[in-house]
Amino acid sequence: MARGAISLEASNQVKKINEANATDNSVLFGQISEHSVYSLNTIINQIFKPLVDQLDDWGKCEEDQRKEFTSYFEKFANELKEALKSLSQNINLEEYPPQWENEAKNIHSSKAPSNEMINDFEKLFNKWSEQIATALDGTEKVEKKDDKSDPRQELDFWKQKMRQLTGISE
């Protein structure tokens, strides 16, 4: 499972970190799992959004503030859905065979690479080319809903197109 690690400095004081003491609170850290976007989407769209949508009594909150909050909250919830959609459309290219790692690292040595390695890499690159071409064909199928779209629709169209191309490059 892929994970990302983050660290946060607990204070703005410059002091040496004591690596021997794990609980001195000089550095706070944690891990973000690959499922963080899925979890956040579930929390926002299935728990909080229904609560916000049903809320009738906003107390002392003015109408303009309520509208602004709900508008931004809706945009954020939709962005999470789009991020999930984008993640599911990313292509995964197969890694090169690990048996060739040492030979590939020493490719610039005087020894010529083996024909077997070259054949394996050629097959792999052809496979990658097909996957990328298929994904690029999918980006061409993104169409605008109508030619008289407003600026927001135009931005959304190009945002979706960018997500698809980013999914290929990642």
pLDDT at 2: 45
Residues 32, 114: one domain? no
Among left, alpha and beta (phi > 0; psi -120 to 50; other), residue 59 is left
pLDDT of 170 over the 80 cut: no
Of the spans 3-7, 35-39, 121-125, 133-137, which averages the highest pLDDT? 121-125
Task: Kindly report the average pLDDT of the chain as a whole number.
Answer: 76
Q: Is residue 18 part of a domain?
A: no
Q: Is residue 139 part of a domain?
A: yes
The domain tally of the chain equals 2
Residues 140, 169: one domain? yes
pLDDT band, very low/low/confident/very high, at 14 (cuts 50, 70, 90): low
CB atoms within 10 A of CB 80: 19
Q: Is residue 19 part of a domain?
A: no
Q: Is residue 124 part of a domain?
A: yes
Residues 77, 37: one domain? yes
Residues 101, 80: one domain? no
Tokens of 119: 């054949």
Q: Is residue 123 part of a domain?
A: yes
- Indicate the residue among 36, 61, 89 that finishes a domain: 89
Domain ranges, residue 6? 1-10+28-89
- Indicate the residue among 71, 89, 107 that finishes a domain: 89
Residues 80, 116: one domain? no
Q: Is residue 21 part of a domain?
A: no
- Indicate the residue among 48, 70, 89 that finishes a domain: 89
CB 135 within 8 A of CB 88: no
CB 54 within 8 A of CB 64: no
pLDDT tens by residue, 65-106 = 999 999 999 999 988 888 787 777 667 788 877 888 877 777
For 21, 41, 48, 107, 145, the CA distances from 31, given in Å and listed in that order, are 20, 18, 24, 36, 41
SS3 161: helix
Cα–Cα distance for residue pair 123/79, rounded to 1 Å:
38
pLDDT of 146 over the 60 cut: no
Q: Is residue 126 part of a domain?
A: yes
φ, ψ of residue 29 in degrees (nearest 5): -145, 165
Q: Is residue 15 part of a domain?
A: no
**Quick one: average pLDDT of 129-141?**
73
